[in-house]
Every structure is written in C-alpha cells, then in structure tokens.
Amino acid sequence: MNEIAKLVAKLRDTFDSGHTRPHAWRKQQLKQMKALLREGEDELARALQEDLGKAPIEAWATELNLVSREIDHMLSKLDSWAKPRRAHVPLVMQPAKARIIPEPLGVVLVIAPWNYPVQLQLLPIAFAIAAGNAVIGKPSELAPATSGAMARLVAKYMDPDAVAIVEGAAEETTTLLAERFDHIFYTGGPNVARIVMEAAAKHLTPVTLELGGKSPAIIDRNVDLDGAARRVVYGKFVNTGQTCVAPDYILVDQSVERPFVDRLVANLKTFYGDDPKASKDYGKIVNDRHFGRLVGLLDAGGYQETVIGGKDKADASARYMPPTILRGVDPNAKVMQEEIFGPILPVIPVPDVDAAISFVNAREKPLSLYVFSKDKSAANKVLRRTSSGSACVNTAIIQLAVPELPFGGVGESGMGAYHGKRGFDTFSHLKSVLDKPTKPDPPLLYPPYKKVRERLLRRVLKARG
C-alpha cells in the first residue's frame, strides 16, 4: 500500500469510528483552524508574498480573514444547520413525521489552485469539518511556499487522524484520485476538472467543480462612471488579475467609452502610482509559464490601442506584468478566446445593454457577471436575460465575502457551490427519513384490489393536503 492509500485508510478508520461526528469535535477543530490563521498569519503572509508578491494586508483581507469570518458564521450556525429539517407530510399519509437529516459523507478530498492558495484550500476544508467529515487537502504546487506553510500548520493545529494535507503536483493528485473518496471538491481550470471528474466517475464519487471563465463587466450609459471604474479596477487588478471572479473584459456603452476608459486609467494611477512595479500593493505573475501565456495574448494582437501598460513595460525576470488596458478589441482576438487570468483588461464598446446581453449569451456561461448602471430596469434586464454563477450590480468580486450567498459556477464555470449553509450542505448527505406508526393501518392500500376499493384508493391518493 502506498503512503497516500495508507493515509486515506487511516482517515476512513477515523471516520468509521464516529470520531468526527460530534459537534464538539467539529467546533473544536474549527476553532483550531482559527488559531492556525491567527498564529500562522506571519508565516502564511510571507509565503504568499514569496509565491505571488501579495501585500500582507491584501493576503489578510482576501484570504485569512475571509476564512476566519466564514468559520465564525459556521460556529454560530452549525447546530441549526446540522439539525433534522422538518418536511410536510401529505394528509393522506398521516399520521407520520418526515425529516431531512444532514449526515457527514465520509472522507473527502479538496484540491486547491494557486491564486488564493490559503482561502481556496482551508475554506472548503472548514466546511468539510463542520459537516463532520474527515478530509484531505491538496494544495497547488504552483504556490510552493504557501503549500509548505499550510502542510506544516495543518499538521501542527489540526487533528492528524482526521485532517491532512498531501503536497504535490499531477503525479500525487493522480495517486490520490485513484482512491475512493465520498466527495471531491476541486477548484481550478476546466481541463483538470475533466480529469478529476473522470477519476471520480470510477467510484461514482460526487464532485463539486469550482472553475473560472470570462466574467464580463457591463457598463451602461446611465452610470456613475468614476464609482464603476474604481470598482472594476479593484476587482480586476487585485492579486494582479489572478482572481477567478475578476472582471475579464468590459462591455461598455459606446457613448461613455472614452470617459470610462479615462477613469479606469485615473483610478489605476491612484491605486498603484505611475510605476506599478514599484508599488508594494501590486503583485507578480505566479510563474514563467503564466507570464509567457499573458505575453502571448498581447503578442497575438487583435486590438487597436494599448491605453496603458503593455508588454514593453513588462519584466520577465521579475514576472512583472503591468496593469494593461486594451481598446478597439476584436471579439475574435486571442485575448477574447480564453480566460485572461492576469492584469490585462480588454474594453469593447457596444451600442446598448441589449447588445451586451447578446454578446454574453453567445459565449460560455461565466462564473460571474457585473453590471454597472443607475437604471434598475437595465440592471434587472441583464440579470434576467443572462446566466452566470453569481452576479453583482454596481460592484465586483466582493459577493464571495457574503457567507449566505452560495458561491459556484454554472455550465462551463462549474457545478455545485459553497459558502454559508450551502457549504455545509455540499459536504453533507441530506437523508430523507419517514417515520410512521404501524397503527392506524387501513387496508385500502394493500391488495387484493377490488373495484370499489380501487376507486376509493384513486380518490384518496389524488387528494391534496
């Protein structure tokens, strides 16, 4: 038996013993994770700085604190989420009691990506624990310092019989995926998602797939231009554009394109100064491959103007890609064919909101969609006529900090969701239980079915109530 198989077997023994089921254990482990985040803050911030050039305050706000606040929410709600949920019993089936009982799934696997390597690893693990499971986390090898820090901290703070980190790349993940899990929670790109789902199919293991895609931001003509530009710039360039819910491209009403682009540039300068490379608040691209991929998107052309930034200002040795805004972008340009996942923002003018809706609907369903407008009916039209994992009106990316909003994709941007109660349910089986006394027990339902009895039975079973 290889080491990974031994680990899975150990966690399964723990789960089968009932060790992870008591609420007291779950809460104690969640509190331990909070201690890990508090006491390990410096170690994690250093690792995130090394891997991604993240400013410590950004790391705290978008990763550590987000997980910690969700854990507080879990701790306050766990008892009520885990309680049996009553269900209505139709009159004809009474007397009886119907309940839905959440039960843990077993041993679950959480595969995380590199862009928010702490949040996207520890938050699903926290939900798995809250629901009473044993869990293995697999951080991304592309953020190696953070992967190492999490492996050390999880071993130090969490119950080693029930919570573990396995470090490694495709080879280790393939070995993990050969094991039977009771749920696999994967965050990352769609190609590996297909590998994960195929491996899961062998064991009929359910999966949650948190993927990405090209999330549009639609700018209506009736808009607070400066407010919209500031929020788009924040959402796009935080973490150097390496955010799954970042606005990928802009569809702007052509009548306000010029002033909107001017305000994008002005806000960029306010945030990161004239030389973003010197800003301690602007990060770097995760590795050379992704840096080269972004340069390739710019090299492929298909746009008329580089408003700011561009590859001439990039520095491969520092993996520095400047905030870049492109105008006159052909919808068939390479930069419009794949998720950018970096600090390049194409701006595409459209005649009106209807044209923006058609543009979005001609493509895969995005993970998020943002609409900026002072006109409620225009914003509602966009929400009604497009489909996306989540959406915001007049803001961007911060929807995932609202615990009660389930976070997940639709279509090519993923399946399943988490955060808040939905996170608890994702790692639970909702077992339906019907409990009925043996008396009274009228013979109507049972054979032999004579004519009169059959007529009566039909009438009774059709009755509502």
Bond into 351 cis (ω within 30): no
Catalytic (active site) residue 244: yes
Does 267 help bind ligand NAD (rule: CB under 6 A)?
no
With CB under 6 A as the contact rule, the residue among 111, 163, 233, 378 that binds ligand NAD is: 111
Coil, strand or helix at 113: coil
Instruction: Give phi and psi for 185, each to the nearest 5.
Output: -115, 110
What is the pattern of x (binds ligand NAD, CB under 6 A) and - over residues 214-253? ------------------------------x---------
Shortest Å distance, C-beta 209 to ligand NAD: 8
Task: CB nearer to ligand NAD: give 246 or 261.
Answer: 246
Q: Provide the token pair at 335.
A: 């930069």
Instruction: State how far the Cα of 119 lies from the Cα of 33, in Å rounded to an integer.
Output: 12
Task: Look up residue 223 and give its amino acid.
Answer: V
Coil, strand or helix at 306: strand
Does 402 help bind ligand NAD (rule: CB under 6 A)?
no
With CB under 6 A as the contact rule, the residue among 235, 414, 420, 423 that binds ligand NAD is: 414
Instruction: State how far the Cα of 8 lies from the Cα of 453, in Å rounded to an integer.
Output: 56
> What residue is closest to ligand NAD based on CB?
212
Instruction: State how far the Cα of 85 lies from the Cα of 241, in Å rounded to an integer.
Output: 42
Does 138 help bind ligand NAD (rule: CB under 6 A)?
yes
State the CB neighbour count (10 A cutoff) for residue 144: 18
Cβ atoms 125, 135 nearer than 8 A: yes
Task: CB nearer to ligand NAD: give 49 or 390.
Answer: 390
Catalytic residue among 210, 257, 339, 412: 210
With CB under 6 A as the contact rule, the residue among 188, 276, 323, 406 that binds ligand NAD is: 188
Stretch 277-336 residues interacting with ligand NAD (CB under 6 A): none
Does 142 help bind ligand NAD (rule: CB under 6 A)?
yes
What is the pattern of x (binds ligand NAD, CB under 6 A) and - over residues 334-373? -----x-x-------------------------x------
With CB under 6 A as the contact rule, the residue among 91, 169, 201, 461 that binds ligand NAD is: 169
Q: CA nearest 427: which of 135, 7, 99, 210?
A: 135
Q: CA nearest 135: which of 127, 145, 146?
A: 127
Does 386 help bind ligand NAD (rule: CB under 6 A)?
no
Shortest Å distance, C-beta 456 to ligand NAD: 54
State the CB neighbour count (10 A cutoff) for residue 236: 29
Which residues are CB-contacts of 248 (< 8 A; sequence separation ≥ 6)? 213, 214, 215, 216, 339, 340, 366
Footprint of ligand NAD on this chain (CB under 6 A)? 111-115, 120, 138, 140-142, 169-170, 173-174, 187-189, 192, 195, 210-212, 244, 339, 341, 367, 409, 414
Q: Which residues are catalytic?
A: 210, 244
